[in-house]
Homo-oligomer: A and B are copies of this chain.
């Protein structure tokens, strides 16, 4: 593997893998960046606000919703690789926010600038919400129809079509990663896992409403590992980043309660499924494992244990 900042004679410019990471301080990005550094990438992180310095990472301040600022950063860095994780992601609001339209515009502009300045390999964060959720089987990259029901899913899916087609035409290698249900340290307290763990740890009762719903959960570090592995591969097209394991949310909550020893405080309800919140969302995760060679480091129990630890620490 080539040294990143080296100056030796074998260390030609061509060898450097220079990756521009958007959303690098986000939930996935903050785990992806150190893995990219470890793999020898010269990492350029774009953030709207100044971020704390990190070893081996060049920080760039830019608002990606401003086409001029985006162009400036790409022109300056001339990345060979792009890992585009940034998007509007405010809990509860991102499904319907008009800002989804801004991120379509920002992302097409970013990708066009990336291609124009010689970029060769790009990975984008898509979502399982691009799939048709009305079926029963595992959601498969090509066998399952794309049929998003939300503005968020529609905007991601529309961007996918544009960047996949333009990448193919321009000779730029593109992979589109569809993320399923992720969890991990420092999640928004209203999201499923913290909404169970936090009250239980405080000796308060916790309720899971959709206890019979089957989901595909993956620890955020494994999601980040999937993105990095995918970026570092030459796999193109759509790739699910998921465990492939089907778990009911009731079982997830019970496992969490067991780890804390407060199963007595947990109530599992069985709300009916709706088209927006269907009974089953599970990935076919074979592509990521077989073609990228990725494997998760956490199973559900060890992943939950990691989150419990992080929540116990401040107490």
Contact = CB atoms under 8 A, between A and B. Distances in A.
A69 interface: no
Contact of A169 (B67, B96, B115, B148): B96
Interface string A147-180: 0100100110111011001100110000000000
A197 to B, nearest CB: 33
Nearest to A65: B67
Contacts of A161: 154, 157-158
Contacts of A96: 169
Nearest to A111: B101
15 contacts: A67-B105, A98-B112, A98-B166, A101-B108, A101-B111, A102-B109, A104-B105, A104-B108, A105-B106, A105-B108, A151-B165, A151-B166, A157-B161, A158-B159, A158-B161
A148 B151 CA distance: 21
A116 interface: yes
Which 6 residue pairs across A and B have the least CB separation, nearest first? A105-B105, A158-B158, A154-B165, A101-B108, A101-B112, A158-B161
Interface residues of A, number: 28
Interface of A: 67, 96, 98, 100-102, 104-106, 108-109, 111-112, 115-116, 148, 151, 154-155, 157-159, 161-162, 165-166, 169-170
Given A98-B115, A101-B112, A101-B166, 14 more contacts: A67-B105, A101-B108, A101-B109, A101-B111, A101-B162, A104-B104, A104-B108, A104-B162, A105-B108, A148-B165, A151-B166, A151-B169, A158-B158, A158-B161
Contacts of A148: 165
A214 B47 CA distance: 53
A162 B148 CA distance: 11
A112 B108 contact: no
A96 to B, nearest CB: 6
A111 B161 CA distance: 20
